Structure 1
Amino acid sequence: MVRWEPGAGGRLREAAMELYVERGFEQTTVAEIAQRAGVTARTFFRHFADKREVLFAGSEELSKGLVQAIAEVPAGAGAMAAIAVALDAGADFLGLDHTRSRQRQSIIEANPELLERELIKMARLGRALADGLRARGVGDPEAALAAETGIVVVRVAFGRWVSETDPGDLKAVMRDTLAALRTVTKA
């Protein structure tokens, strides 16, 4: 076995997903993931802190992308306009592989520990969005309210997107969900 094989991280992600689908998350070990990927367990831990992290890797990159998108919105745009731009950026990141996203979501929903971690991740994204809005001069409670609204849109849109067999573009689903939210909030 070659020591720093190229593509080990990708192979580990694929092997983990396959095993989680076949056996379930709880029944899969790091050693089994590494073996299927053709690497050692030590190599696994160079790429991921634990077997849960395979499902949540990329969260920091997503968060940074959302905050950067908010920062690039022209001055004078409102908080929800900035959130809409961030949602588009998030859709570009999250909507890359529908099949993988569907598998990932089914694994998370089948395991309470993973579901809890997903909710924590969403809360962190909400705080990052709010911080991005505050950096633009949006005060509280508006920054927190707009950010949490954005997270609700992400959760609902992503849930719709992964539940359909031929959903189309996640960005379009996000925009439709945001439009639906605007409709239901009219007094």
Structure 2
Amino acid sequence: MGRWEPNARERLAKAALDLYSERGYEQTTVAEIAGRAGLTERTYFRHYADKREVLFGGSDVLRELFVTAVAETPGSAAPIDAVAAGLETVAAEFVDREHSRKRQSVIAANAELQERELIKLASLSAALAEALRGRGIGEPAASLTAEAGIAVFKIGFERWIVAAEERTLAELMRESLVELRTAVTAGGQVGETAVM
């Protein structure tokens, strides 16, 4: 019977991120990650399917938080306001800016990881659209609102991890949402271009 190791999942995630930052994603092996964490490869594979997934281990939790917040918003709320409530809930989970910077740097340096990040965002958008449909929002409004929410999340996050940035992720997402609302309601006056 194997020995129980406290915080194995977190230790593996930290070891992986440190090694990916130091040596590069491609040059790092699962054995090295497990060794850095003081664990075995077998333990690694109990927690993560491959060396890529260690960077995306929180995706399910993020999706659940977002979807639950959208679903629990009062029924009278506009779809974008329900998504805004989800953004607030998710933003509260992002407290370690340095970790997020480091993770994003590793992802930006590898095409395979960039692809996995896009898949994560697409999955999150699909889950949000489903939550909005569950609130009685029809198509294409549900999908459009979900995609807009993910764009606000993505832009807010990219701004948050900039080295000189001091505002919280929630503040930056609120600001991005205001910018989106302004762009949509401005009637095309700012930077207007002909469509079709």
Asked if TM exceeds 0.5, the reply is yes
Alpha-carbon deviation of 1:106? 0.4
In the alignment of these two chains, the number of paired residues is 185
Q: d(CA) in 2 for partners of 1:46 and 1:122?
A: 25
Q: Does 1:134 align with 2:133?
A: yes
Q: Output one character per residue of 1:120-144: Cα deviation in whole Å (capped at 9) or x when no partner.
A: 1000000010000000000001000
Aligned partner of residue 92 in structure 2, secondary structure: helix
Q: d(CA) in 1 for partners of 2:102 and 2:166?
A: 15
Q: d(CA) in 1 for partners of 2:164 and 2:107?
A: 18
Give the corresponding residue for 2:111: 112
Q: d(CA) in 1 for partners of 2:5 and 2:152?
A: 40
Tell me which protein shows more helix as a share of its residues: 1
Amino acid at match of 1:110: A
Amino acid at match of 1:52: R
Aligned partner of residue 174 in structure 1, secondary structure: helix
Give the corresponding residue for 2:13: 13
Alpha-carbon deviation of 1:13? 1.0
Alpha-carbon deviation of 1:5? 1.1
Alpha-carbon deviation of 1:165? 3.7
Q: Which consecutive residues of structure 1, in runs of 5 or more, have no partner in the other structure?
A: none
Give the corresponding residue for 1:157: 156
Q: d(CA) in 1 for partners of 2:173 and 2:67?
A: 17
Q: Does 1:172 align with 2:196?
A: no
Alpha-carbon deviation of 1:96? 2.1
Give the corresponding residue for 2:194: none
Cα gap change, 1:165/1:16 in structure 2, threshold over 3 Å: closer, same or farther?
farther
Aligned partner of residue 163 in structure 1, secondary structure: coil
Matches within 5 A, 1:1-187: 3-93=3-93, 95-185=94-184, 186-187=186-187
Q: d(CA) in 2 for partners of 1:55 and 1:124?
A: 16
- TM-align CA RMSD: 1.1
Q: d(CA) in 1 for partners of 2:78 and 2:132?
A: 9
Q: Which consecutive residues of structure 2, in runs of 5 or more, have no partner in the other structure?
A: 188-196
What fraction of aligned residue pairs are identical, expressed as a percent? 53
Question: Which segment is superposed worse, 126-135 or 3-12?
Answer: 3-12
Alpha-carbon deviation of 1:180? 1.1
Amino acid at match of 1:91: A
Per the normalisation by structure 1, the TM-score is: 0.96
Per the normalisation by structure 2, the TM-score is: 0.91
